[in-house]
Amino acid sequence: MEIAPVYMAPDESVQPLVDGEAVPLVFPPQGGRVLFIGVRATNLSPCGVKLTGVARDLATEQIRFDARPLNLVPGPDGKGGSIAGNLSSFSNVPICPNQWASTDAFDQTFGLELQVQDQDGKKGEVKLQAKLTCAEPANEEGCKCICKQGYTTDQVCNEPLADGGVDGGG
């Protein structure tokens, strides 16, 4: 199995996840901040793949993770993978509100892991480090507030309202 980690940027483009580089914290529909970690892969069964993304505090080893099943979609490079703009094809690793890390969750380096297992039991894993960043200028103030080390829910941050999933109307 060959796997390459990717992430979905705030503009919904898919970018390679490279060791030591910056990765954006993104405002998802449910609120808070997440890392959208995905995969490009070959030599595995593309249906019913289990994708797990992990963020690790390097000082305490505390983790946050998200695991989900997905079907890999072939791309122009012949590899199957996560789909730009499709949140459900990425692991949505919850980072903020930050009540877990020993440091701020922005402008700091965290361990990231991507684990892939196909329906035949074949497994692959990639471990790297990346600097998490508040990369949405319009939401930077709110990001730095809820991603600050020691954040508590009684703090008021300048945050956009999360989409509750219900259309307005009479």
Instruction: Output the domain CATH number for residue 141.
Output: 2.60.40.2550
Asked if the structure places residue 9 within a domain, the reply is: yes
> How far is it, in rounded angstroms, from Cα 161 to Cα 68?
25
Asked if the structure places residue 164 within a domain, the reply is: no
- Measured on CA atoms in the order 92, 63, 113, 131, is the torsion positive or negative? positive
Asked if the structure places residue 157 within a domain, the reply is: no
Across the chain, how many H-helices and E-strands are there?
1, 11
pLDDT single digits (tens) 31-43: 899 999 999 999 9
In this prediction the pTM is: 0.89
Q: How far is CA 161 from the centre of its chain?
A: 20
Asked if the structure places residue 158 within a domain, the reply is: no
> How far is it, in rounded angstroms, from Cα 25 to Cα 137?
11
Across all residues in the chain, what is the average pLDDT?
92
How many distinct structural domains can be found in the chain? 1
pLDDT at position 170 over 50? no
**Least confident stretch, 76-85, 98-107, 119-128, 140-149:** 76-85
Asked if the structure places residue 131 within a domain, the reply is: yes
Asked if the structure places residue 155 within a domain, the reply is: no
Asked if the structure places residue 165 within a domain, the reply is: no
- Give the dihedral of Cα atoms 68, 28, 41, 107; nearest 10 deg: -120
Structure confidence at residue 159 (pLDDT) = 72
Asked if the structure places residue 152 within a domain, the reply is: no
Range of the domain at 67: 2-146
